[in-house]
Each structure stands twice: as structure tokens, then as C-alpha cells.
């Protein structure tokens, strides 16, 4: 039986009726603050004087002991001659209440006695001034509190503190289903069970099964973790609470835990629903001393764990979370009964990239010559966000060129833009620099082409790009590979060092243009030694570990200084050997190197097919082996 999917019933209803107006809260707070401020000021002011009786003031006046007097509306401030003779810091004035009578007569009498009378009162405006000052203070405090409330965004507590910032998305608002997610078939299959449970919970409760309360989406940035979570909500047709882990972190202690409680209270009112916490590592970081932490973050994490344990999964509340740093999450967060199901959202393979390109080009007008398979081959290693950006760049290029359709050239050019950046049209190279760049790039391509176990070259260009230095060589893998042998990795190192080898063979110079090549070759050789166990000196010993697998993926040394020295020596040995091999290949094929480089200097950009035409023609010029010549003579 199809469950009731009336979206209006799932939407949380806002209470109506006696809810106070939004402006009352800052006004009341401002009024209270002004009254407290006035009370404090009066208390401080009164503490500066000693209170006396009226007869004591009259006695001091009659005995001519008054030094100075100030007559106010309701009291008299005075200082005796004895106090006036003391140091200013030790003087103490007195005050007494002023009985009803003629204040002006008292002022004239004191003046006749030679007493200094400060500010004789002619007309009493103190009440008006006090009311005016209070009005100004209340207005200023009201404006200040209104600005704070608007800036901190909300109703309820001051500035919305303690209130969850989660947004509720219904299916009509997200508009995302599994049809909009491509290249993640394994992840969608794992999440399909959650959708089925939200549709038909009776099928699971009847047999006594419980759905996992939480699922953790793990993958590199741009692989589509948030998109998958929205697709689950769209497929299940349930409310979707979305909040970032950083939204729980506040400078006030206890606010994060309060927001966690409020989030789950909102979810319980509209169950079945999905709670999605993006970048959960911001609040779920490990509490041990290795990664550090603070009390507010720990309180928020403890409250999150308590809320996950507290709700009943049979009600249809499912928690999804996403991170690209699973290694730093607290173990208590990943134990069974919490986020125990890990769903890896990995980089798409060839078929996944092809499907993703089809999704992103659904609304793009494509010409008949577009071959998405070739684009999928050329974008090995790209994630969904990269492919979406690639398609958009191609559409923008087509508009700039004045076309109404995106053709294959636009898509291939957009690959250059995404990989190497835009062309630097204002960069002018000298003839010597241009020849150096041409030989450098052909050195890469020729060494890789003549190596039997290297990826084929797709394109060589000496046109400067913003991120591709003064030129670059693009490779196009023939097939998707997940394993590489030692010989294949060594071939890659030789190809990377082919540019520097060409500079040395042809010009006998070394330029800074090979800096990025040397970094890549060194990193690959270090991985061979430290992670892959491909060193004759160290054997199967792992001397490094990868801490951020889904981010930079860099290996950090985890060995003694003596072993690290051996690692450096082994890496240097691999680099030196591969560099000498690359120079040997280029010296043995010097004529071919010159021919291709001169052709590249003229065209500035050549394809892999044009490169292979030169290589195959050169092979046909080679003399037959000696054994074949002897056989022909016989």
C-alpha cells in the first residue's frame, strides 16, 4: 500500500496566536538595562557624600563653618571649612534633605555670609532633563539591541542563541533524485535501503529489524556527498534537515549542545525525516590529545551522541553525515548504533564520468560531433564537480565564439582551461625561451612515447597558460587502471624527467621550468620507497603513512632519522637512474627530437596522432637487424 505523501502534513507548523511581537524583546531589554544603569549611577553618586540631618546643616551655617554649598531641587550638598582644609583626595562632602521653602532666600543668606554657593537654582529643570536623558538612553539601547538581534539572526533567545540553524527541505524544494546523481552506483545502492525503510517501515519492524541510525558519507571534495543526501530525501519524499558541523560551534559555552537538542526536537515533530550534518568533522573531532579539542566542542559532541542514542529509529529519523577527514572522527561517533555504516563516495570511473557528463549536458545544446566518451577518457581522476565545471566552461566558450551549440572543440578546450588554466595571451617569449620550452615538452612526450609501459600522449602545446606554466604535455590513458607495476611507475618517472633531460642534451643548461616536474618525480619515487615497498635497500618496509586520504593524500614520514636517511638515498637513486635513462633515450633519438621540436615551434600545438606519425616514420627509416640482413644475403 502506498504511504500517504501529503507534503503539507510533513511541514512543521509554526505556532500562532499569542506570540509576542519581534520588537518587544529588544525594547524590554533596553528598558531594563537603562533602569539598572540609572540605579547603579545613583548608588555610586550617593556613596560620594555623607548623609546628615537638616539641623546639623543649620548648626554649621549658624556657626559659620560652611565652606561651599550647592542647592539642588530636593537636597543640599555642602562642605565644612574643616573638610575643605584637607587634601582633595581626603575631603568628604555632606548632603541633607531640603525642606519645603524658599531656596532662593537660603541662597541669598549664604551668599551674605560669604559662603560660596555653587549653581544657585533659579528654575528647576532637573526633572525635564532627567526624563530627556532617560529617553535618549532608552532609544540608544533599543537601537543597539535591535541591531544585535537582527545580526545574530533570529527569534527566541537573544540573537537566536541555542536555536538550530537547520533548514527544512521538502521534495519540491530540493528537486533532486537519484536520476541527478551519476557515477555513484555503489553509494546509491547502499542508500536505497534507507529510502525503502522510510517508505515501508512495517516491513522491517515486522521481522524485528532495526535500521542503522546513522550513515557516514566519506569521499574527496566534489564527489557529490551533499547531492546524494538531498537525493535520498527526494526519493523518500520526507523532510530534509541540513546543517553544517560548524553551525554548532559558538563562542558561548553550551550553545552548541543547545542547538543539537533543538535540531533533534524539530526532527521528532515531523518524523519520518532525514537529518544531514555536512562536514561533521568540525564537531565530531576526536577528543584525545593527539588532535586537540576544547570543552565547547566536547560538550557539543557528547550531546550529539546522547541525542543519537535517545531517539527511536522505528519512528523514521535517519542521520546522514558527510566528511572528507574520517580519520580524525571520534571513535564513539563511529561505534555500532551510531554512524556505523560508512558509505564511500569515491572518484568516478570511466563509466561514471560518462554518466555524469550525460547528466550535466542534459540542458546543454550539443552539436552532432560531440563524443562524450572521448571527454570521459580525457578526464581521468576528475570528480563530479570538475565535470560540471568543465561542461559549463564549454558552454561559456561557445557563447563567446558566437555559436548556439557546444561542439567537441569547446569541450576539449574546456579541459585545458580546467587542467591548465586560461591562455596567457600577453606573455611574449624570446626565441631562445620558446625553443627551450618546445624541446622541454617534446622531451616529455618522446620519452613517454618510446617507453613501452607509459600512457599515450594526447596533446603537446607551448602556449602559456595560467596554471600550466609555459607549456604542457597531456596524456590520455587507453583504459581505466587501478594497479601499477614497478616498471610502469619507473616509466612515469622517466617521462616526467624527460623535459629536464632534453634541456641538458640539447642546450646543456638547466632551467627553473622543470621545478614542478622534479617535485612530481620526487613525490612518486618517495611513494615507491615509503609506501609501495619497491626499494631494494628497504624492501617491504613502510616508512610513511597517509593521514588525509581524501584530501591531499600526502604521506608523512613515520620512521627514525637513520631510516629516513636511507629513504632519501633510495629516492635519489631512483631519480638519478631514471634521469640517466631519459637522457639516453633522447640522445639515441636526437634527430627525431629535433624534427618534432621544430614542427612544434611552427604549430605551437600538436596532437598525439601527429606525434605518433613522426615516431612511426622514424621507425620505418631504421635499418633491419643484422640477423635479418644476413638471412637476406644467404
Catalytic residues, which ones? 441
Residue 623, classed as helix, strand or coil, is coil
Gap between the Cα atoms of 507 and 344, Å rounded: 49
CA angle (180 as vertex; 174, 183 as ends), nearest 5:
135
Residue 631: count of CB within 10 angstroms of its CB: 10
Which grid coordinates are listed for 426? 600577453
> What's the DSSP call for residue 503?
I
Burial 248-266 (b: 16+ CB within 10 A, else e): bbbeeeebbbbbbbbbbeb
Whether 326 contacts 344, CB under 8 Å: no
Sort 98 into a burial class: Cβ within 10 Å, 0-12 / 13-18 / 19+: middle
Q: Which residues lie below 8 Å from residue 254, measured CB to CB, with a gap of 6+?
A: 296, 299
Euclidean distance between CA atoms 124 and 112, whole angstroms: 23
Per-residue buried b or exposed e for 454-469, using 16+ beta carbons within 10 Å of the residue's own CB: bbebbbbbbbbbeebb
CA distances from 15 to 5, 12, 166, 583 (A): 23, 9, 18, 78
Query: CA-to-CA distance for 49 and 46, rounded, in angstroms?
Result: 6
**Cα distance between residue 375 and residue 387, in whole Å:** 10
For residues 252, 256, 258, 261, the Cα torsion angle rounded to the nearest 10 degrees is 180
φ/ψ of 214, rounded to 5, equals: -140, 150
CA 263/CA 277 separation, integer angstroms: 11
- Positive or negative: CA dihedral 19, 20, 23, 29: negative
Phi, psi of 366 (to 5 degrees): -105, 145
- Residue with grid cell 611574449, as numbered in its chain: 428
Q: Which three cell numbers stand for residue 629?
A: 640482413
Task: Compute, in degrees rounded to 10, the torsion defined by CA atoms 519, 525, 526, 532.
Answer: 140
Cα angle at 455 between 451 and 460, to 5 degrees? 95
Q: Which of 169, 352, 193 is nearest to 270 (CA)?
A: 169
CB atoms under 10 Å from CB of 360, counted, come to: 19
Kind and range of the H or E element at 19?
A: none
Using H for helix, E for strand and C for coil, what is the string for 46-69? Answer: HCCEEECCHHHHHHHHHCCCEEEE
CA distances from 414 to 419, 433, 460 (A): 8, 27, 16
**Dist CA 56 CA 62 (whole Å):** 10
Amino acid at each position: 500500500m502506498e504511504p500517504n505523501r501529503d507534503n503539507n502534513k510533513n511541514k512543521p507548523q509554526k505556532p500562532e496566536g499569542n506570540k509576542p511581537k519581534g520588537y518587544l524583546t529588544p525594547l524590554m531589554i533596553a528598558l531594563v538595562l537603562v533602569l539598572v544603569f540609572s540605579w547603579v549611577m545613583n548608588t555610586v553618586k550617593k556613596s560620594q557624600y555623607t548623609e546628615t540631618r537638616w539641623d546639623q546643616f543649620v548648626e554649621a551655617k549658624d556657626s559659620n563653618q560652611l565652606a561651599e554649598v550647592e542647592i539642588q531641587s530636593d537636597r543640599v550638598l555642602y562642605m565644612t571649612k574643616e573638610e575643605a582644609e584637607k587634601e582633595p583626595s581626603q575631603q568628604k562632602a555632606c548632603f541633607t534633605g531640603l525642606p519645603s521653602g524658599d531656596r532662593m532666600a537660603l541662597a541669598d543668606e549664604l551668599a551674605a555670609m560669604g559662603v560660596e554657593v555653587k549653581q544657585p537654582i533659579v528654575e528647576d529643570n532637573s526633572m525635564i532633563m532627567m526624563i530627556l536623558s532617560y529617553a535618549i538612553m532608552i532609544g540608544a539601547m533599543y537601537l543597539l539591541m535591535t541591531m544585535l538581534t537582527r545580526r545574530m539572526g533570529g527569534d527566541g533567545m537573544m540573537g537566536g542563541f541555542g536555536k538550530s540553524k537547520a533548514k527544512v527541505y521538502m521534495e519540491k524544494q530540493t528537486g533532486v533524485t537519484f536520476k541527478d546523481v551519476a557515477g555513484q552506483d555503489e553509494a546509491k545502492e547502499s542508500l536505497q535501503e534507507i529510502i525503502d525503510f522510510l517508505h515501508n517501515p512495517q516491513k522491517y519492524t515486522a521481522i524485528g529489524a532495526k535500521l542503522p541510525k546513522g550513515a557516514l558519507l566519506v569521499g574527496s571534495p566534489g564527489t557529490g556527498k551533499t547531492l546524494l543526501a538531498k537525493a535520498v530525501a527526494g526519493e523518500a519524499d520526507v523532510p530534509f534537515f541540513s546543517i553544517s558541523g560548524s553551525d554548532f560551534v559558538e563562542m558561548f559555552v553550551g550553545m552548541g549542545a543547545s542547538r543539537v537538542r533543538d535540531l533533534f526536537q524539530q526532527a521528532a515533530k515531523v518524523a519520518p525525516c532525514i537529518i544531514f550534518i555536512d562536514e561533521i568533522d568540525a564537531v565530531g573531532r576526536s577528543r584525545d590529545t593527539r588532535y586537540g579539542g576544547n570543552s565547547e566542542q566536547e560538550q557539543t559532541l557528547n550531546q550529539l551522541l546522547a541525542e543519537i542514542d535517545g531517539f527511536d529509529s522505528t519512528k523514521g529519523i535517519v542521520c546522514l553525515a558527510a566528511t572528507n577527514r574520517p580519520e580524525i572522527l571520534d571513535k564513539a561517533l563511529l561505534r555500532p548504533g551510531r554512524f556505523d555504516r560508512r558509505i564511500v563516495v569515491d572518484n568516478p570511473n570511466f563509466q561514471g564520468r560518462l554518466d555524469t557528463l550525460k547528466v550535466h549536458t542534459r540542458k546543454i545544446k550539443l552539436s552532432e560531433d560531440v563524443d562524450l566518451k572521448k571527454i570521459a577518457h580525457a578526464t581521468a581522476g576528475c570528480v563530479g564537480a570538475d565535470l560540471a565545471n568543465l561542461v559549463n566552461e564549454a558552454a561559456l566558450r561557445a557563447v563567446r565564439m558566437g555559436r548556439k551549440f557546444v561542439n567537441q572543440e569547446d569541450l576539449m578546450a574546456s579541459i585545458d582551461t580546467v587542467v591548465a588554466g586560461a591562455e596567457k595571451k600577453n606573455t611574449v617569449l624570446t626565441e631562445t625561451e620558446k625553443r627551450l620550452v618546445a624541446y622541454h615538452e617534446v622531451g616529455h612526450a618522446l620519452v613517454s612515447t618510446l617507453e613501452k609501459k607509459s600512457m599515450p600522449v594526447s596533446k603537446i602545446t607551448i602556449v602559456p597558460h595560467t596554471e600550466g606554466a609555459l607549456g604542457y604535455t597531456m596524456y590520455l590513458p587507453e583504459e581505466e587502471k587501478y594497479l601499477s607495476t614497478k616498471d610502469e611507475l619507473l616509466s612515469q618517472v622517466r617521462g616526467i624527467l624527460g623535459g629536464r633531460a632534453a634541456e641538458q642534451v640539447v642546450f646543456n643548461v638547466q632551467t627553473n621550468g622543470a621545478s614542478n616536474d622534479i617535485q612530481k618525480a620526487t613525490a612518486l619515487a618517495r611513494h615507491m620507497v615509503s609506501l609501495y615497498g619497491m626499494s631494494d635497500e628497504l624492501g617491504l618496509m613502510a616508512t610513511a603513512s597517509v593521514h588525509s586520504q581524501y584530501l591531499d593524500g600526502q604521506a608523512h614520514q613515520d620512521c627514525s632519522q637513520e631510516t629516513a636517511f636511507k629513504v632519501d638515498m633510495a629516492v635519489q637513486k631512483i631519480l638519478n637512474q631514471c634521469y640517466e635513462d631519459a637522457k639516453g633515450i633522447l640522445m639515441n633519438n636526437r634527430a627525431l627530437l629535433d624534427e618534432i621540436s621544430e614542427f612544434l615551434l611552427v604549430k605551437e600545438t600538436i596532437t598525439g596522432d601527429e606525434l605518433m606519425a613522426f615516431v612511426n616514420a622514424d621507425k620505418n627509416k631504421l635499418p633491419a637487424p643484422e640477423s635479418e640482413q644476413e638471412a637476406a644475403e644467404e
